[in-house]
Amino acid sequence: MQFETLPGFREFYPEACARRNHVFGRWRQVARAFNFLEYDAPVLEPLELYIEKSGEEIVSQLFNFEDRGGRAVALRPEMTPSLARLIGAKANSLKRPVKWFNIGEHYRYERPQKGRLRAFYQFNVDIFGEQGPTADAELIALLCQALQAFGLSAGDFKVRLSDRDLWLLMLAAEGLDEAGSATVLGIIDKLERTDRAKTIEKLAPVLGEQAEAFLGRIEEAIAIRDFDRLRAYIENLPLEGDLAAQAKARMEDWAQLLRNLKAAGAGDFIQIDLGIVRGLAYYTGFVFEAFEASGAGRALAGGGRYDALVKKLGGPDMPAVGFAMGDVTLVDLLESKSLMPEYMQRPEFIAIIGGEDERDAALADAAQLRALGYQVEYPLKNQGFGKQFKAANQSGARFALIYGSEELERGVVKVRDLTAGTEAEIARDQLLQQVPALLESGLES
């Protein structure tokens, strides 16, 4: 072939498209069950929108170009900045909480590999205007239910839950200022993928000789998996005054979040894991990532609090929490668990046509059935009955409608239940009335 798809872009043949729509359908169904409203935004946006949020470095990972009007533009690499703009523009008139979701294609100019393409679909779910942990709970519960909707269970995935506020308190207890904390959080984010000596080396500029002892205390915190130990750990931090009060209040938030999640049936999926901090600096509170239970593979979804972002992008002060789930990693996992159904689009009826007069009859009946929404197929060219029956069986249709000269003379059509192998004659003027019962219970022999 002369032309191939661009690297990292996919074509969706009908089977693949059906599988994609299966994923979209489950996402949409769960979002609606939680009463989130669907919105959409442009695929092409001003480049500046992304630079404002993520910094100049982001440009190297974008599909960006100059349009004919001389505007610097980019294909959207994520939904959040567009969403923050939508929200910001109408913030004062939106009934809170604002619960919105989107399913859309996104584009990143990166090297394609396992679980990562250049064009991919993301399920974005966000809540604006509620700062308490009940919003985080609602969102994480939705995430868990979305994954369960594909047949995944507690043995298949975990949501690792962490908290950047807590980290800032822990780092304050270590005597770190804001800048030092930001640096250290960046290092913690990569802890799992970096060897220990290298990490100590990276910590040294901030902590000097303390680096190794500090790392020891960090590792202790990251190993915590249950709430009581976390609470004990936080209570024992050398914090005073205002910071001590903040720590106490934060543990109340944790208690509420975990209680809500448990009540919502998501308790089995939650794993306290302070090792998650997420690379992005704009996250402000609870952060979380969903992973395959074995820990293998890329994150299935990730999200958290970003209370300051709407304001940073020009809107009013608006607390926010959200997550995004990509289709690529999800489908990889579903396939490995044999949870991707094989879809075959098939008609309900297929006509078998004896000749030109019979074709007139078949087309007339098909038109009526189709107008009622039934799925009807018929052969576009005249073929022998044998061939047509074979094709009818291969089509996967539920019923064959047989239009022969002999039937036509008597004003009937022969209906064959292709699953059961049974046949009956139905008067053509009775066909529409009989169809619901046919589809309901098939043809008794």
Partner RNA sequence: GUGGCUAUAGCUCAGUUGGUUAGAGCAUCGGCUUGUGAUGCCGAGGGUCGCGGGUUCGAAUCCCGUUAGCCACCCCA
Stretch touching RNA by CB under 7 A, among 31-39, 82-90, 159-167, 297-305: 297-305
4: contact with RNA by CB under 7 A: yes
**Distance between CA atoms of 444 and 271, rounded to whole angstroms?**
54
8: contact with RNA by CB under 7 A: yes
114: contact with RNA by CB under 7 A: yes
Q: In this chain, which of 72, 387, 434, 437 binds RNA, going by CB under 7 A?
A: 387
Stretch touching RNA by CB under 7 A, among 110-118, 199-207, 220-228, 259-267: 110-118
298: contact with RNA by CB under 7 A: yes
User: Roughly what angle, to the nearest 10 degrees, separates helices 227-235 and 241-263?
Assistant: 170
193: contact with RNA by CB under 7 A: yes
Of 138, 378, 77, 257, the residue nearest 249 (C-alpha): 257
Residue type, 303: G
Binding mask 62-101 for RNA (x = CB under 7 A): x--------------xx-x---------------------
112: contact with RNA by CB under 7 A: yes
* Closest to RNA by CB, 182 or 249: 182
Minimum distance from CB of 171 to RNA (Å)?
Answer: 19
**Distance between CA atoms of 323 and 325, rounded to whole angstroms?**
7
Q: Are 4 and 66 in contact (CB under 8 A)?
A: no
Question: At residue 337, what are phi and psi to the nearest 5 degrees?
Answer: -100, 10
Q: Are 300 and 333 in contact (CB under 8 A)?
A: yes
The DSSP letter of residue 6 is P
316: contact with RNA by CB under 7 A: no
* Closest to RNA by CB, 105 or 252: 105
**Distance between CA atoms of 369 and 234, rounded to whole angstroms?**
68
Binding mask 389-408 for RNA (x = CB under 7 A): xx--xx-------x-xxxx-
Minimum distance from CB of 155 to RNA (Å)?
Answer: 22
Q: Are 122 and 324 in contact (CB under 8 A)?
A: yes
* Closest to RNA by CB, 273 or 407: 407
Residue type, 364: A
**Distance between CA atoms of 415 and 425, rounded to whole angstroms?**
6
CA distances from 131 to 81, 102, 265, 319, 424 (A): 19, 21, 22, 5, 65
Binding mask 40-59 for RNA (x = CB under 7 A): ----------x---x---x-
**Distance between CA atoms of 35 and 160, rounded to whole angstroms?**
25
Minimum distance from CB of 35 to RNA (Å)?
Answer: 24
108: contact with RNA by CB under 7 A: yes
Minimum distance from CB of 137 to RNA (Å)?
Answer: 20
Q: Which residue has the tokens 């302070």?
A: 274
Residue type, 276: I
Q: Which residue has the tokens 């009946």?
A: 365
How many residues line the site for RNA (CB under 7 A)?
52
**Distance between CA atoms of 152 and 23, rounded to whole angstroms?**
13
Interface with RNA by CB under 7 A: which residues?
4, 7-8, 50, 54, 58, 61-62, 77-78, 80, 108, 110-114, 116, 190, 193-194, 278-280, 298-299, 302, 324, 354-355, 382-387, 389-390, 393-394, 402, 404-407, 414, 416, 418-421, 423
